[in-house]
Amino acid sequence: MADIPIPLLRTFVVVAETLNLTTAASQLHRAPSTISMQLSRLEAIVTAQLLERGQYGVRLTAAGEQLRTQAHQLLSMHDRILGAFQNADISGKVRLGTHDLYATRALTPLLEAYMLWYPEAWLEVTCDHRPHYLASLVEEGKLDLALVEMPAVSDGGQRLCRDQLVWVRAEAHPVHQQDPMPLVLFPEGCYYREMATQALQLSGRPYRVAFTSHSRGGVLAAVKAGIGVGITPRTTIEDGLVIIGEGLPPLPQTDTTIFVADNVNEATARLAQTIANSPLFQPNSRNVPNGSE
């Protein structure tokens, strides 16, 4: 019986999550042809078709869905074993501040892997919608590091990759045509809110705040329900939302930025390095949706 190489399982898991060979290749820093070869080799070892390739990407077969679950379990066990032996001496408290834009999306698999590799680290995560506030907590020594979305023209921190803020609405609800236009926003102190309201005021477009939430999930749910227009980075567009391409003032670009306090412990330094080096936060990993009205 042939063994399954761990690198093949890692490649398969990324493809299973992205359902796109080009996106997976970008995240893994490999050529799409290499990804295809690895998948073919894995299918040969397990003697089952795992993926069905089509014009718009790939989808998992029944065998692929089964292997996806099992591969996650095996990789977690593998990383936990290695972490327990190789990184047992790396310990201490790690205080991370971030927006739930990251905490509920890109950071989830990254933090899972980090906790497996560094089992003695004590991770404490604080979510807040105010990037400048989180950066100030790092400066004051109340946080060890912060991963936030900052204005592209501002200073400070290590800039990882750039995005573009866009107006969005629900596919079935043209609420941007209302006068005044209803908005779905984070509370005061949010950079998105400040830029959106400032742009509307400068353009003379009447608006009203129809819904406010501290949670990204709450904001997106309100937008999808047709309560109002929202603002989000272009690369985070979800199903059911469309970009409003005309009739509204342009919004600025943002930078995914990491702030790290001075004289942090080794566990914090490793997390900062893990985030900065992650393919998820590299410029070429930002696959921007083309759809807008």
**How sure is the predictor about 240, in pLDDT bands with cuts at 50, 70 and 90?**
confident
Higher pLDDT, 86 or 194: 194
207 pLDDT above the threshold of 60: yes
Angstrom distance (rounded) from CA 53 to CA 35: 13
Residue 65 DSSP label:
H
pLDDT, residue 20, reads: 83
**Can you tell me the mean pLDDT for 66-87?**
80
pLDDT in tens, 241-284: 999 988 899 999 999 999 999 999 999 999 999 898 887 776 65
Which DSSP string corresponds to 98-157? Answer: E-HHHHTTTHHHHHHHHHHH-TTEEEEEEE-S-HHHHHHHHHTTS-SEEEEEEETT---S
pLDDT for the residue 79? 74
Predicted local confidence at residue 284, as pLDDT: 54
pLDDT reading at 12 higher than 60: yes
Model confidence band, residue 26 (pLDDT cutoffs 50, 70, 90): confident
Residue among 148, 176, 152 at smallest CA distance from 243: 176
pLDDT at residue number 17: 83
Tell me, what's the pLDDT at 1? Answer: 72
Tens of pLDDT, residues 95-107: 999 988 888 777 8
* pLDDT at 287 > cutoff 70: no
pTM for the structure as a whole: 0.71
